[in-house]
Structures are given as C-alpha cells and as structure tokens.
Amino acid sequence: MSERLTSGIQYWSGYSNDFVKTLKKTGKNKLKVDFCTQYDDVFEITSINSIKNLSLSDMMAVYKYRPIIADYAHKIWSQDSEVALPIRENILLSSDEIKNIDRTSSELLDAHQYMRFGNIRFTRKEVITIRLFLSHCRVKEISAIQGCSEASEHKRIQRIKEKLNCPYVSPSGLFTALKEQGITLACLETLISVT
C-alpha cells in the first residue's frame, strides 16, 4: 500500500508486479490510475480503471470531481460504518449521455453546495471566497462578487481560517495553509466558476 501513498497521479503500470497481477484479474484492465492527495496525515485516493485508454481531458474531468466525490463518500460512510471498500460500480453510458455530461459538467459543479478537501468541508460560498482570495482579490472585491457586506466576508474568511486550524494567521499565512491542504487556484478554477 505504501507505494500508492504518494501525492499525484500514479499509473498502476508503474507499480510493483503484485499490483499489475491484481489489475490483470479485472475485466477493466487497459488502464488504472490513482489520484492521491495528502492532507496532513490523511491520504485520499481516488482510483479509476477503464477498458480503454483515457484522454488527458477525461483524466482532468475525473480529477475535477474529486472534492465532490470525497464529500459524497464521507456522507455515505458517516451514515453506515459497515460500508465495505472498495465500492465498485459498472457505469455504462451511451454516446448521447456522454455528450450531455460534457454540456452540463460545469452546471453540476456550480450546483453542488459542499466540497471536501481531506477532512475539511467547505461550502460553495467559502470555495468561491477562497478562489477569489487566491486570485489576489481584496475583501471589498470579494464581497461585491459574493453580494454581501465586507463584514460578512471577513466572517466567512475567519470561518475558513478556523476550519484550517489557523484562526490568527495573516493573509500570507492563509495562502500557506491552503497550499498545505492542496487547495490551489489551479484546482479551484476547474471546480467552480464565479460568474
């Protein structure tokens, strides 16, 4: 298991022979990829396998949905401690369904109210604030975009700091805390729009 616990995108073909043998036993063994992120002492692995090679855009689509999948999985596991892992699903989509997913993918992300990064759950408004903060927007600009007062935005930023266990840090300290949790502007730009 230790070789899977490396942050980043890992192809199973690069793992030891034991993993390659395990992959060959499944029907979907053309490609298997782990997306691993470390949040402090917590590792989050999203693993996919496919009967065909996936394009870079397909891989990025999976990566984009990880915080939403993590939030959903956390809710399921919180309800039933007897859930056995791994949870597998055989997903068969027609070409019309795939085209529809491409058209509505950004709508789905913008409608989801929570996103999870490791053990921290943020609301959609908090994620928008973080994205704008990482874009170097001032609180006045963020509050105008969010449609709230500057005082409300300061409270939201304080809640974000508290969730990150750094309630008294400066803005540069908040940048650092977000980076340590794997929350970057590049990540958030793919997750949610601010328009």
pLDDT tens digits, 71-125 = 787 777 777 766 555 555 555 555 665 555 444 444 444 556 778 787 788 888 8
* Residues 11, 84: Cα–Cα separation, whole Å: 24
Whether 143 and 149 have beta carbons less than 8 Å apart is answered as yes
Domain boundaries in the chain?
2-92, 108-187
Q: What are phi and psi of 42, to 5 degrees?
A: -110, 130
pLDDT reported for residue 6: 75
pTM above threshold 0.85? no
pLDDT reported for residue 88: 54
Look up the CATH architecture of domain 108-187. Answer: Orthogonal Bundle (1.10)
Helix then strand then coil, % of the chain, to nearest 5: 55, 15, 30
Instruction: Give the chain's residues under pLDDT 50.
Output: 101-109
* Residues 68, 117: Cα–Cα separation, whole Å: 9
